[in-house]
Amino acid sequence: MAKIYGYSGVSVLSKLARSGGYPNWPERLKLDPRCSVRNRKREIERLPEPCAEAVIYQDSFWFRISKFFQPGDVILTETGTASSGGNDFVLPRHATMINSAAWLSIRYALGACVGATLVRMEWEKWRSEHPGEFIKGRTILFEGDGSFQMTAQAVSDISRNRLDVIIFLISNDEYTIERVINSMNADYNDVQPWNYFESGSYFGAPKDDPSYPVFAKRANNWGELFEIIEDPQLKAGKGFSMVEVMMRKDDAVASLKELVHLAKQQNRAG
Ligand SMILES: Cc1ncc(C[n+]2csc(CCOP(=O)(O)OP(=O)(O)O)c2C)c(N)n1
Ligand SMILES: [Mg+2]
């Protein structure tokens, strides 16, 4: 059984289901939120593979990336397009999902990831010293580039405490969810792009230390992302791993765009 904390997405999904589903989704990606996890897993297997050069769009990213998850993983999504995208995850057994759907405060997730990883690693150490089987998981954070810029120094805590963390950094030219809600072209949503995947070395993560390996790669398209998530070092989840996933600045899951559309309609109606 997967545990889901701070997750109000289910009621949003059922409302959308009642309102006719996800009208803008390509036919093959339309999912009924009431569909069982087993059927969803089968659905992932059936998705046709995108060509290697294809842009990574959010309408299938969150669903497809679920193939990377393993039982016992602790998975966090930052407020922004990631918190809506996470509604499409298909979680394995014994996974823990942490998101801030109710509070919607950006920059909570990187710090929460530090705390959750400390607890997970201490618990796993304790379990390994006691009899009985247990499932060893990984920490996987889906972080927005705008949110990361507010809390990046937490990477220093991650290195200092030798925390095993995997970060998928959604690199989409900053505040995309704000663009979707307010205005696609408002320049206050533009922030200086950083070399995110170099943050491990910038914040002093060790170089060439086999006991704390550092993994840093950028995925510009599906081909690169598939290759990266098959890498045994990343899969093992040991050390600090940062995968910068390049996405379009106007891209978000259709359910988020639809939600914004419904809210605007409601506001107009008073
Ligand atoms: C503390 C706080 N400040 C501002 C906001 C408004 N806000 C919500 S999402 C967001 C931008 C998030 O950008 P990013 O982390 O890059 O995520 P993206 O939507 O681009 O994936 C902002 C400014 C907020 N929710 N909380
Ligand atoms: Mg962003």
Pocket test for ligand 1, best of 100, 172, 175 (most atoms within 8 A of CB): 175
DSSP H or E segment with residue 43:
helix 37-46
Better-predicted residue by pLDDT, 100 or 245:
245
Whether pLDDT at 16 is above 90: no
pLDDT band, very low/low/confident/very high, at 268 (cuts 50, 70, 90): confident
Q: Which one of the ligands is nearest to 171 CA?
A: 2
- For the chain, the structural domain boundaries read 3-269
Whether pLDDT at 219 is above 70: yes
pLDDT, residue 12, reads 44
Q: Tokens 């918190």 sit at which residue? A: 83
- C-beta separation of 189 from 179 below 8 A: yes
Minimum-distance ligand 1 atom for the alpha carbon of 148: 15
- C-beta separation of 65 from 90 below 8 A: no
- C-beta separation of 9 from 86 below 8 A: yes
Q: What is the pLDDT of residues 86-129, one digit of tens each?
A: 999 999 999 999 998 778 899 999 999 999 999 999 999 999 99
Of 18-27, 189-198, 203-212, least confident by mean pLDDT is: 18-27
Of 41-50, 82-91, 162-171, 198-207, least confident by mean pLDDT is: 41-50
**Averaged pLDDT for residues 129-154:** 96
- The residue whose C-alpha atom lies closest to atom 25 belonging to ligand 1 is 105
Q: Which one of the ligands is nearest to 252 CA?
A: 1
- The residue whose C-alpha atom lies closest to atom 16 belonging to ligand 1 is 146
pLDDT, residue 33, reads 59
Pair of tokens at residue 156? 């220093």
Minimum-distance ligand 1 atom for the alpha carbon of 172: 20
Whether pLDDT at 23 is above 50: no
Q: How many CB atoms lie within 10 A of CB 189?
A: 18
- Read out DSSP for 7-61? --HHHHHHHHHHTTS-TTS-GGG---TTS-HHHHHHHHHHSPPPPTT----HHHH
- How far is 90 from 41, CA to CA, in rounded Å? 7
CA of 165 from ligand 1 middle (Å) equals 22
Minimum-distance ligand 1 atom for the alpha carbon of 82: 21
- The residue whose C-alpha atom lies closest to atom 9 belonging to ligand 1 is 80
CA of 107 from ligand 2 middle (Å) equals 12
Minimum-distance ligand 1 atom for the alpha carbon of 143: 15
Planar angle of CA 152, 8, 169, nearest 5 degrees: 25
Minimum-distance ligand 1 atom for the alpha carbon of 79: 9
Better-predicted residue by pLDDT, 162 or 46:
162
Pair of tokens at residue 217? 């790669």
pLDDT band, very low/low/confident/very high, at 251 (cuts 50, 70, 90): very high
Three-class SS of residue 232?
helix
CATH for 3-269? 3.40.50.970
pLDDT, residue 191, reads 87
CA of 147 from ligand 1 middle (Å) equals 6
CA of 52 from ligand 1 middle (Å) equals 30
Q: How many CB atoms lie within 10 A of CB 227?
A: 12
Give the DSSP letter of residue 218.
E
Ligand 1 neighbours (beta carbon < 6 A): 78-82, 104-106, 144-147, 170, 172, 174-178
Whether pLDDT at 205 is above 70: yes
pLDDT, residue 162, reads 97
- How far is 144 from 77, CA to CA, in rounded Å? 9
- C-beta separation of 77 from 147 below 8 A: no
- C-beta separation of 144 from 80 below 8 A: yes
Q: What is the pLDDT of residues 33-80, one digit of tens each?
A: 566 777 777 877 788 888 999 999 999 999 999 999 999 999 999 999
Whether pLDDT at 146 is above 70: yes
- The residue whose C-alpha atom lies closest to atom 6 belonging to ligand 1 is 106
pLDDT, residue 21, reads 46
pLDDT, residue 13, reads 46
pLDDT, residue 231, reads 98
Q: How many CB atoms lie within 10 A of CB 25?
A: 16
